A and B are shown apart, each in its own frame.
Chain A
């Protein structure tokens, strides 16, 4: 019956949102530790699901140049993670962490952001691993500075993902030098989607 189908889809979406919730707290704690707790006020992250096509508009506009740091977590439970920052937040992070006014395009600035992305996304995976008893071995992070659509095109080139089921985790910090806003995207491979849902359902008992 129609209602059962809708409930089933909604249930799947709820379970996927749980995937976002599980790790984002750990990821944000990790970032705030890097920035020194005393300087950081962390806002509660917002978790939602969105189709891939809507993502560029969610991030301050499709024509905005932003920074994307991304990894793939391959295997049976396969997904992409992208950490997106607006340019001001990226520069603030470089300044906060390295005391430098380095550009996001220069080697050193990129290096800082890559390490931030590495640590924050690994913290997310650590939490997910703890929850599911699986081991995630991501690729080393890469970075792009471009419009959101172009970044996603680079990340997902040749990938076959569940385009209607992108998890968007919006995070924000207030630091001594300003505010930092970042969005995590978790984009499951289409073949992994049902596996992920089952995994979270089976492992989701408190």
Chain B
């Protein structure tokens, strides 16, 4: 319960890495999106409990996707997972509605702890 996750990242390797970490820790990956637009579309379709979101992606970046998902569902639980750890971007993502911001590269515990905190 409360552990269905949508993974968003433009590289297959990172999506695979996240999937492995999440599934090992009892989460169910219900969808994968390779850019922000897919993430928005998949969110509407799947209504996952949690979303991991990259920032730098083609077609639609992560911050735009966060805003669109939050417009659709203000209760959406989105955790950013990005290499772009610049202060202004972190603030922008959190202001857009992200619950946490994890900078790559990360240890598995970091993302699991973040998801646990978000689901309370």
B1 sits at the interface (CB 8 A):
no
Contact-size category for B: 10 to 19
Among A114-158, those with CB < 8 Å from B are: 114-115, 118-119, 122-123, 125-126, 129-130, 135-140
Q: Are A126 and B86 in contact (CB under 8 A)?
A: yes
Q: Chain B residue with minimal CB distance to A128?
A: B86
- State the main secondary structure of chain A at its contact with B: helix
Give chain A's interface residue range (CB within 8 Å of chain B).
Answer: 20 to 34
Q: How many residue pairs at the A-B interface have CB separations less than 8 Å?
A: 59
Question: Which of B11-19, B24-32, B41-49, B71-79 touches A?
Answer: B11-19
The interface residues of chain B, by DSSP majority, are classed as: loop
Contact B13 A115 (CB under 8 A): yes
| Interface status of B94 (Cβ within 8 A of chain A) | no
A119 to B88: give the CA distance in the assembly, Å. Answer: 18
Show the binding face of A for B, using Cβ within 8 Å: 30, 33-34, 97-98, 107-108, 111-112, 114-115, 118-119, 122-123, 125-126, 129-130, 135-140
Question: Could you tell me which B residues sit within 8 Å of A by CB distance?
Answer: 10-14, 56-58, 82-89, 103-105
